[in-house]
Amino acid sequence: MYKNRVITGTGSFIPHKIVKNSNFKDHVFLNEDGTLYEKDNEKTIEKFQAITGIEERRYADDTVNTSDMAFNASLKAIESAKINKEDLDLIIVAHNFGEIKKDSYQGDFLPSIATRVKNKLEIQNPNCVAYDILFGCPGWVQGLIQANQAIKAGDVQKVLVVGAETLSRVVDNNDRDSMIFSDGAGAVVVESLEEETERGILSTVAQTYALEESKFLYSGPTFNKEKDQGINYMKMRGRKIYEFALVNVPSAMKSVLDKRGLDIDDIHKIFLHQANEKMDEGIVKRLYRLFKKPVKKNVMPMSIQKLGNNSVATVPVLYDMVLSDQLKNHIVTKGDIIIFASVGAGMNINAVTYQS
């Protein structure tokens, strides 16, 4: 008998508010030094879409916060898993900016988002431990890795792993990068199951590059020098991140396959953090190149075109969409081996091989 760590339920929350690229045509975009970005907005948006693949994104309604989205995704995952919420041993919530109310400009971390989710779920069991992790965009995948470790340690049977973010409230509207980011939440229930054949989480890899890479994503003031320079927004060195990811993510993904003795031909789907369409395509091409194989058709589902980059939520939302038949030409059936992988602030990289 094998003690498998299996995802038994999934759920997601996708905000209703659609923000199309055309919504940015009247934005005043500035350079980092505060000078006017002189290129025509329509051409800027056209180039942006060609590179990122983003046509539109979702923003949370004004009264909806990070914990609300996390709760809704969690409720769906628990219902999908058909478990009693009181039987949960752990609640792990990945995010990066806390609870940010509309126009507040300050993240609220007290209590933790995980505690707020447990409260909204009305779980009475004090032995259900709830905590947050801040790990950049790879936070949800890291939560999955921690759930795997906790179950293997022997004291935990059921874990709720959530990724939720409200990035629309931490971006600088005068920065062109603000067009990339969005809001949303995804969740899974991971259970320990004794079964005759091995499946579930097969292998994991996690890395942190913290020299010059630690400055690729950071908090900084608005590019608009006439606004309060004491308020920080999310900032990034896009070109640096792109180059870093293309070099380091494929090798990490190969490592997680090698660790399990898997070949790229064994992989049915790759669920990669939805950061940038061209970057993600480049990562997958380089991964296959490491195995000297052509890229498999339809191996990588994508949601970024309609949902944008909602950080820690992209991978679990994408997985839930595929399992619920919301993406054309993408299915996962029992026995399929897939990869979850992400890259983000840290710079952190992680990957998990999983057999459904």
Q: Could you count the other beta carbons within 10 Å of the beta carbon of residue 244?
A: 18
* Residue 225 pLDDT: 92
More confident: 158 or 329: 158
Dist CA 334 CA 215 (whole Å): 41
pLDDT tens digit string along 270-296?
999 999 999 999 999 999 999 999 999
CATH 3.40.47.10 applies to domain 2-195: yes
Q: Is the pLDDT of residue 29 over 80?
A: yes
What was the pLDDT predicted at 14?
A: 97
Position 39 scores a pLDDT of: 87
pLDDT grade, residue 142 (50/70/90)?
very high
Check residue 201 and give its pLDDT.
98
- Check residue 279 and give its pLDDT: 96
* 317-328 confidence digits (pLDDT tens): 999 999 999 998
SS3 of 177, please?
Answer: helix
Q: What is the rounded distance in angstroms from the CA atom of residue 132 to the CA atom of residue 184?
A: 17
Query: pLDDT at residue 38 above 90?
Result: no
Q: What is the pLDDT of residue 335?
A: 95
Give the model's confidence band at 200: pLDDT under 50 very low, under 70 low, under 90 confident, else very high.
Answer: very high
Mean residue pLDDT of the chain comes to: 96
Contact 287, 300 (CB under 8 A): no
Fold match between 2-195 and 200-355? Answer: yes
| pLDDT at position 198 | 94
Amino acid occupying residue 297: K
Span of 31-40, 163-172, 196-205, 253-262 with lowest mean pLDDT: 31-40
Tell me what pLDDT residue 189 has: 98
**According to the model, what pLDDT value does residue 80 have?**
98
Domain ranges of the chain: 2-195, 200-355
Percentage of residues in the chain with pLDDT exceeding 70? 100
Question: What average pLDDT does this structure show over 233-242?
Answer: 93
pLDDT at 212: 96
Residue 338 has pLDDT above 80, yes or no: yes
Contact 114, 151 (CB under 8 A): no
Tokens in use for 203? 């292998």
* 91/188 Cα distance (integer angstroms): 10
Class of domain 200-355: alpha beta
**pLDDT tens column, 77-135:** 999 999 999 999 999 999 999 999 988 877 888 999 999 999 999 999 999 999 999 99
pLDDT: which is higher, 84 or 231: 84
pLDDT of residue 106: 78
d(CA 298, CA 271): 11
Which pLDDT value is given to residue 108? Answer: 83
Share of the chain above pLDDT 90, in %: 92
pLDDT tens across 53-72, in order?
999 999 999 999 999 999 99
Inter-residue contact 21 to 48 (CB < 8 Å): yes
Question: 162, 182, 201, 139: which is closest to 76 by C-alpha?
Answer: 162
